[in-house]
Structure 1
């Protein structure tokens, strides 16, 4: 690391003002407008936040990609000073709901009636300002439950399903649900080239940097909604926090494998390992801590991150976990720890929608974060209707769907990728390599990583890391040289106007 860059990272940047914004739908409507006039320059970047994204695909809250901007994500009180000694506490742990009734003390018909009534109210409130709402309909439980309520209160809505790849083909389920409910249904098939061009086109207007593995899908979807004259999107995320996230056999195996080891990267270069996604994934897990293994996808190891930067920065990223240690230590079960990981990772899961909606001037609704609906589920629904025997999740939601649909064509085994990562690597390698060369001041090791892994990107393990660089590098470049990253990109004029 050069002396000048070292000085920059430690002392040279003087914060002119401090900004903190709410990004938790649980605390009300999210407003990113304070960032519109934020200085988009090199000096304001937080290098540790870049390391966060390379390691975990998101920035550890309350930090952001900018040194002087903090976010009040779920678990952080917006009233506290998040710049100095921020305090985290997650209020939706099972142990914090002692007043829940027993299963034999409630009537299922009344429960389902209340569920429908409150969800309809949540949808109506959150979409009140939308003229033409679009539901991002995956075809799974959450979006199916949402579609049922939507058909009652916003039958003018359109359902939009994204086909990211064969592993996540839920189009049949989504189409069946929409048609049965009388809702219009559309499908957008992933085209990595189109999606990436759309990302570059709106990139200067994306306020904060994150690299969720569905972020490109979301930009693709949001652009499509804008082209179709939609003015708002409905996202069915947010219910896991209070319904709970039961662990299964694979989760326990991965927890045992996660040992925080520093393995020589030459292991991944052998033909046997480099061609096997499962072997790479298992070896990568050995290099992670148990908590960070809960975060989805394959990311750069600490050794790789330090090599990309040219100095030891991964430990700075690791230390950011200290903010969450008190809640993790107090967690009563592995499921409780997993629930905290979901909330911490909210910075990625929700940021992809918030960033895309902001960039395209769309409204965004999270009905499952509605306080009345959320608090009723958390406090007044029996625990057995949240997580059932054998780790069955969202029992009440399943019952609600079952009243309308006797059987749904859910996919039996989901994959981990909602975007064609390998296709992106095939179609955009030279472009990303050029971005890497232009951002060497920040990540001097990025060109070499791309050069040495070019022939391994058909393995999703390496393609995932390529994806992270594809998200990060042009965004950084746009802040270093505002017109460079999106040059020579052909997109629909209606998007860029």
Structure 2
């Protein structure tokens, strides 16, 4: 089975996976290792053996089982074209194309809700939505103490005449909502905003909404300059294999920064680009009770040639991030929407809009080469309606209270660990050993990954096929009933 799964390619069809009695293969243990190492399954693989995904960068016409080839679609984003022969009303053209993208992507929705973070992408979308879909409702998720997007989001919605709602993160409620829909999720990702999306989507459905509008998709073709911190982290990622007890030392275990550095030292530079703190290779092998992390890391080889051809540091980062974007960032919304019977719209993925920006909009409308400020066209569009917005200093859209989840639902996750011993025999031991450390976000991030993965596996009660190590990458195509 092969599923085209990217908003850049259109709306994915999961019907073969979600229908009663639908064909579902055995759970792929290497994909479970992917989730624990990186919070998503490396494309074109999926959580199931024999089910492959065509994400953006792969060609839908290729066979993902035998000959997948990755090619980044937005080469030199933010850099070309350098000059244009005539000046145009770039902001006016952008507004028109964005309105058309909103109309097309939301055509099936009777009651759309915009996931409004209070930042640039959701604000420019709100401006277009006020013209194209003024019936839309804006909703902002307040996920942690470091956030204060609500003021910005409320100000934008009110000024545009749009209804605005706020949902405050309750980690226990969000997790219970996830457990209620986990069985209906067609596939699995462990993106760090997945529970936020489930919480939001459940709320939207309960309030009569039938679709979510998401502002993902613009970074890849506008260009995202690499800042100094990102550059340093990439240099710090050395692929070392350090003993796990280092992060459990008395002076280290309580420090997020020290634990994060230790985790980074054990990562590949490309995998360090992916968001969040995750299990190290040694920890993944401990969870499985056998060596499997190497097979997960091997899946990165498919992308290395293309990434190595990057002409700038920011293109290198955009290429790397596109892997996680397809299999994690987009997947969380697509899987959640499918589970709750909602539509998911991604206007920034609209073909006409994205191709126009990538191929026609000049560099000076995308990235300032001196200050490295990006999305200048979006900023100019916002300035047509708002003189100044109360953007937050450290905005993180749809953050989730990781430590709060560990405090609220540890026992529940520990029970799931007992039920999943056949696949992850080391999970109960890891949870017991680290329970007192889960007030540190570094360790709580790993708890989050187990909290997502374990119940999904238990719900399906499908044991993975015992495949010899040398054959794990060569999955057969035959599917069996769950």
Further displaced range: 422-431 or 266-275: 266-275
Q: Is 1:479 matched with 2:454?
A: no
**Aligned residue among 17, 22, 25 for 1:35:** 17
CA RMSD of aligned residues (A): 1.8
Question: How many angstroms apart in 2 are the aligned matches of 1:416 and 1:304?
Answer: 29
Cα drift, residue 95 of structure 1: 7.2
Question: How many angstroms apart in 1 are the aligned matches of 2:307 and 2:324?
Answer: 14
Q: Which residue of 2 aligns with 1:378?
A: 358
**Aligned residue among 277, 300, 314 for 1:335:** 314
CA pair 306-416 structure 1, distance change in 2 beyond 3 A: farther
Question: How many angstroms apart in 2 are the aligned matches of 1:106 and 1:172?
Answer: 40
Q: Which has the higher helix share?
A: 1
CA pair 41-381 structure 1, distance change in 2 beyond 3 A: closer
Q: Is 1:308 matched with 2:287?
A: yes
Q: Is 1:352 matched with 2:332?
A: yes
Question: How many angstroms apart in 2 are the aligned matches of 1:128 and 1:95?
Answer: 29
* Pairing of 1:269-418 with structure 2 (within 5 A): 269-346=248-325, 347-388=327-368, 389-414=370-395, 418=399
Question: How many angstroms apart in 1 are the aligned matches of 2:68 and 2:307?
Answer: 16
Question: How many angstroms apart in 2 are the aligned matches of 1:41 and 1:117?
Answer: 43
Q: Indicate conservation of the 8 Å contact 1:190/1:420, yes or no.
A: yes
Higher relative contact order (CA 8 A, sep 6+): 2
Q: Which residue of 1 aligns with 2:440?
A: 459
Cα drift, residue 168 of structure 1: 2.7
Deviation track 1:349-385 (CA, whole Å, cap 9, x = no partner) reads: 0111001100010011000000000000001111122
Cα drift, residue 24 of structure 1: 1.1
**Aligned residue among 221, 227, 235 for 1:256:** 235
Question: How many angstroms apart in 1 are the aligned matches of 2:306 and 2:46?
Answer: 21
Q: Indicate conservation of the 8 Å contact 1:296/1:416, yes or no.
A: no
Q: Which residue of 2 aligns with 1:468?
A: 449
Q: Indicate conservation of the 8 Å contact 1:41/1:479, yes or no.
A: no
**Aligned residue among 91, 109, 112 for 2:73:** 91
The 3-state SS of whatever aligns with 1:21 is strand
The 3-state SS of whatever aligns with 2:252 is helix
**Aligned residue among 155, 171, 180 for 1:201:** 180
Q: Which residue of 2 aligns with 1:183?
A: 162
The answer for unaligned runs of 5 or more in structure 2 is 464-482
Q: Indicate conservation of the 8 Å contact 1:231/1:363, yes or no.
A: yes
Moved over 6 A (4+): 38-43
Further displaced range: 180-189 or 413-422: 413-422
Question: How many angstroms apart in 1 are the aligned matches of 2:348 and 2:233?
Answer: 29
Q: Indicate conservation of the 8 Å contact 1:42/1:479, yes or no.
A: no
The 3-state SS of whatever aligns with 2:384 is helix
**Aligned residue among 211, 230, 235 for 2:190:** 211
**Aligned residue among 46, 53, 73 for 1:64:** 46
Q: Is 1:228 matched with 2:212?
A: no
Q: Which residue of 2 aligns with 1:446?
A: 427
The answer for unaligned runs of 5 or more in structure 1 is 1-18, 483-497
Q: Indicate conservation of the 8 Å contact 2:224/2:314, yes or no.
A: yes
Further displaced range: 29-38 or 233-242: 29-38
The 3-state SS of whatever aligns with 1:44 is coil
Deviation track 1:300-346 (CA, whole Å, cap 9, x = no partner) reads: 00000011001110110111011112211211111111111221012
Deviation track 1:158-188 (CA, whole Å, cap 9, x = no partner) reads: 0010001122321111000000000000000
The total of aligned residue pairs comes to 461
CA pair 451-94 structure 1, distance change in 2 beyond 3 A: same
Deviation track 1:200-221 (CA, whole Å, cap 9, x = no partner) reads: 0011100101100000000000
CA pair 422-462 structure 1, distance change in 2 beyond 3 A: same
Q: Indicate conservation of the 8 Å contact 1:235/1:365, yes or no.
A: yes
Q: Which residue of 2 aligns with 1:172?
A: 151
Question: How many angstroms apart in 2 are the aligned matches of 1:387 and 1:269?
Answer: 42
Q: Which residue of 1 aligns with 2:418?
A: 437
